[in-house]
Amino acid sequence: MSCHDKEFALILNQKIAIKRRSGFTVTAMGDRRPSGETIVGDAVSVYFYELSGRQIRNLPGDFANVRYNMLMQLGSDIQPGDSISPTYGINGLTLGLVKDVQQIIDLDGLTHHIEVKIERGA
């Protein structure tokens, strides 16, 4: 682990749980419904922040489609379609859906960390 990796690990002061859909069933109408979830990680260290959206008063049940960004350590097991829920240090989100996962390249040409785009889940 390089000196930069140790410094990056210092900002990962929030924790999330990651769940992945493990199977589907088909209803009588032919719709696919998730049948279960597998816990991928229950206390994964991340740095989490809001990209867009505002805190405004909405009608009950009416939620804005807010986007978030999350930084993770290289080697973390996360995929698009996973759901996340905060366990420590994150305010404003109860359930998030992973939309995009990208590996960020360091100035040396090596992969440095993972950047994840999150959308509020319903």
- Nearest one of 116, 36, 105 to 76, comparing CA atoms: 116
Each residue of 39-89: pLDDT tens digit?
888 888 898 888 765 555 556 555 556 688 889 988 888 999 899 988 887
Q: How far from each other are the two terminal CA atoms of the chain, in whole angstroms?
A: 38
The closest of 8, 121, 114, 117 to 52, measured between CA atoms, is 117
* C-alpha dihedral (106, 99, 85, 46), degrees to nearest 10: 0
6-15, 95-104, 110-119: which has the highest mean pLDDT? Answer: 95-104
Domain ranges of the chain: 3-49+64-120
Helices (H), the chain: 3-11
In this prediction, residue 65 carries a pLDDT of 61
Q: pTM of the prediction?
A: 0.72
Q: Average pLDDT over the chain, rounded to whole?
A: 80
User: What SS3 state is found at 109?
Assistant: coil
User: CATH number of the domain at 3-49+64-120, out of 2.40.10, 2.130.10, 2.30.30, 1.10.4030?
Assistant: 2.40.10
> Among 83, 84, 48, which residue's Cα sits nearest to residue 69?
48
